Amino acid sequence: MPTSGWDIVLQKDKEILLPDNDRVKTVFVEMKNKHNTMNSSSSAKTYMKMQSQLLSNDDCACFLVEVIAKQSQNITWVVSIDGKQHKHRRIRRVSIDEFYKIVTGQEDAFYQMCMILPSMVEEVVKNLDSVAKPNDSVFRELNDLAKKENGSFSLALYLLGFGSYIGF
């Protein structure tokens, strides 16, 4: 984790392409697990942090990267501060699949990474019977979904969180 107060500071050898053919040299990232993990106060504070970064470095962009977003996206982040809507083309809400695409240059990089993991997840799941665990309804529901769809546990897990992402 960078010491600058950002979760990720992305700098590449070549410029980073944003929508509308905008290009920057650096992207500052605030990462959240899920699209609904910030209240309005936290959103406003994060947005103002991003505005401040843009004022001090006009060759950058700021991303709110959501691992589990409502859908695949790379959009201008619109936030309400003191009842007024604010937006800037270089302050963006980005799903994890779109972020992986930007970082790697590969359209379905997140999907490819996810497809490598199932064998590892299946191995862990097989060994869970030997580990004492509390009654976990989510785990049970995913197992039931996998059996119902004649699929694997890891496929059910991916579809639950990433059904609208590139490749899924």
**pLDDT tier at 125 (50, 70, 90 boundaries)?**
confident
DSSP 73-135: -EEE--EEETTEEE--TTEEEEEHHHHHHHHHS-TTHHHHHHHHSHHHHHHHHHHGGGS----
pLDDT at 1: 46
**pLDDT tier at 145 (50, 70, 90 boundaries)?**
confident
Is pLDDT of 49 > 80? yes
**pLDDT tier at 75 (50, 70, 90 boundaries)?**
very high
Report which of 132, 117, 120 is spatially closest to residue 162, judged by C-alpha positions.
117
Residue 51 C-alpha from the chain's centroid: 20
**pLDDT tier at 32 (50, 70, 90 boundaries)?**
very high
Q: What is the pLDDT of residues 90-105, one digit of tens each?
A: 999 999 999 999 999 9
Instruction: Give the Cα separation of 55 and 6 in Å (integer).
Output: 16
Contacts of 156 (CB under 8 A, 6+ apart): 142, 143, 145, 146, 149
Find out whether 90 and 53 touch, Cβ atoms under 8 Å. Answer: no
For residue 91, list its beta bridge partners: 62
Supply φ then ψ for residue 17, to 5 degrees.
-85, 125
pLDDT at 133: 60
Instruction: Give the Cα separation of 5 and 62 in Å (integer).
Output: 13
Rounded to two decimals, what is the model's pTM?
A: 0.73
